[in-house]
Amino acid sequence: MGLVQQQQAFEEAAARGKYRRLFECLKDDMREGTGVWRASFTEIERVLGFPLPKSARRHPAWWANEKNGRHTHARAWIGAGWKTEDVDIAAESVTFRRWVTLPKK
């Protein structure tokens, strides 16, 4: 599977998943084109409309950019063309950075 097909598969899965509101927020580039969003866990929960799981607040690995796993939360940001970095568990924050620009539909 090529990069374009892989990205399309992630996008389709993310658009249907539990974390679709995060996917939609990032896909719509709610950061006004900056391509970077330093988000608190509370901000992310507001977008989602439900609390993050405890593991998100305890384990930086929860925020990994896992492309080949079953974690629907990672598919939300990867499917929208973003990746995570600079996870700070103590400060309860994470940086999302755009890594691919998706065509507008």
Closest CA to 86 of 64, 56, 53: 64
69 domain residue, yes or no: yes
35 domain residue, yes or no: yes
Q: Which domain holds residue 83?
A: 3-98
d(CA 60, CA 45): 17
Dump pLDDT digits (tens) for 26-60: 988 755 667 899 999 999 999 999 999 999 999 99
Closest CA to 43 of 33, 52, 32: 52
77 domain residue, yes or no: yes
105 domain residue, yes or no: no
% the chain with pLDDT above 90: 54
Question: pTM to 2 decimals?
Answer: 0.82
pLDDT in the model for residue 77 = 92
103 domain residue, yes or no: no
Average pLDDT score over residue span 81-104? 88
Per the structure, how many domains does the chain have?
1
61 domain residue, yes or no: yes
- Statement: residue 93 has pLDDT above 60: yes
pLDDT in the model for residue 44 = 97
d(CA 42, CA 52): 9
- Statement: residue 66 has pLDDT above 90: no
